[in-house]
Amino acid sequence: QVQLVESGGGSVQAGGSLRLSCTASGYTSASYCMAWFRQAPGKEREGVAEMYLGGETTFTADSVKGRFTISRDNAKNTLYLQMDNLKPEDSAMYYCAAKKLGLRGCTVVAGRRTPYEYNYWGQGTQVTVSS
């Protein structure tokens, strides 16, 4: 059973930076996709960034491209989301998610498909950006 624990959220002013971390346990290979999603009150959960643990290719949503960077440290079993130049509209609960690699690769965020193709989720970490 894969378990995910996020940390690093908080409150910052617009233009500031935060780095979210997601520590994973319970998986035995690199054949997993991992992603960051976010959900603001009253809005649908949206994909932010995604990557394959066994490769280097990443995808970042247009809404955060150039400001957010997804990365991983396999030795620490940790996924990161570096968030720079934060805007008030980035305020949301941020979730880390994982799923086993399937025939369509790690393309849920890029393909704007339902987030619930991911079947392992963390508890979320709140990010609040003030203007």
Q: What is the pLDDT of residue 18?
A: 98
Q: What is the pLDDT of residue 117?
A: 95
Q: Is it the case that residue 1 has pLDDT exceeding 90?
A: no
Residue by residue, DSSP assigns 8-20 as: --EEEETT--EEE
Whose tokens are 């979320």? That residue is 124
Residues 33-82 have pLDDT tens digits of 999 999 999 999 999 999 998 888 899 999 999 999 999 998 899 999 99
Characterize the bridge pairing of strands 92-100 and 58-60: unpaired
Q: What is the pLDDT of residue 48?
A: 98
Residues 75-131 have pLDDT tens digits of 899 999 999 999 999 999 999 999 999 898 999 999 999 999 999 999 999 999 999
**CB-based contact 98:27 (threshold 8 Å):** yes
Distance CA 123, CA 40 (A): 15
